[in-house]
Chain A
Amino acid sequence: DQQVKQNSPSLSVQEGRISILNCDYTNSMFDYFLWYKKYPAEGPTFLISISSIKDKNEDGRFTVFLNKSAKHLSLHIVPSQPGDSAVYFCAATLNYGGSQGNLIFGKGTKLSVKP
């Protein structure tokens, strides 16, 4: 059973508007969440993360929100730019600061930002 779900395979947004990418998880023990961005023919690159002790983390145009009661997190990109067009992966783990902390990834959402 999928522990991390990204239910929207794709999302199209106009340049300058907000992009909202969603992610749901089933394991209430997860304590650390990350977003990765992937361009074609490249490896995923780390974007932003959030610990379960917080409900929001911001880095420039990117903000991640965590709703633990709903087991839901979202990534907001404001304003969206054409260069943001990529596949975005949500990932979750528990005990990330410990010896293992393997990440469980969602299937990804392909974001297209139109000029």
Chain B
Amino acid sequence: DAGITQSPRHKVTETGTPVTLRCHQTENHRYMYWYRQDPGHGLRLIHYSYGVKDTDKGEVSDGYSVSRSKTEDFLLTLESATSSQTSVYFCATRDVGSPLHFGNGTRLTVT
């Protein structure tokens, strides 16, 4: 989706290091989400935001934190990366009643 940019697109990091993934949107959507995709699990919600500084936990939030200080940016932080957090991470946004729009993902490898 042209309106959602995830950075970086690829990252390799070591166990125990902090990692921050960034999602930037130009659509002015109110809601933003972080999902992870793993083989055999589909897409699972990590955290979401329903406004600036308003965030909540999703299904698999342990080991992750988020921040949203501006409408357009939603950051996902792994405080101390573990191998189980090796995954593809997708950011998504939407307005009320409209479908989710996804970014192209960040592939994170924790060695």
Q: Give A contacts to B, CB under 8 Å.
A: 6, 34, 36, 41-46, 49, 89, 96-100, 102-103, 105-108
Contacts and interface: CB of A to CB of B under 8 A. Distances in A.
Contacts, number: 54
A86 B90 CA distance: 17
Contact of B90 (A43, A98, A99, A102): A43
A78 B104 CA distance: 27
A73 B104 CA distance: 27
Given A41-B104, A44-B100, 8 more contacts: A43-B1, A43-B92, A46-B101, A96-B97, A97-B97, A98-B96, A99-B96, A102-B48
B43 interface: yes
B58 interface: yes
B22 interface: no
Interface residues on B, range: 20 to 34
Contact of B102 (A43, A49, A99): A43
A115 to B, nearest CB: 27
Contacts of A105: 35, 42-44
A46 to B, nearest CB: 4
A97 B93 CA distance: 14
A46 B99 contact: yes
Contacts of B90: 43-44
Nearest to A47: B99
Given A97-B97, A99-B50, A45 B102 contact: yes
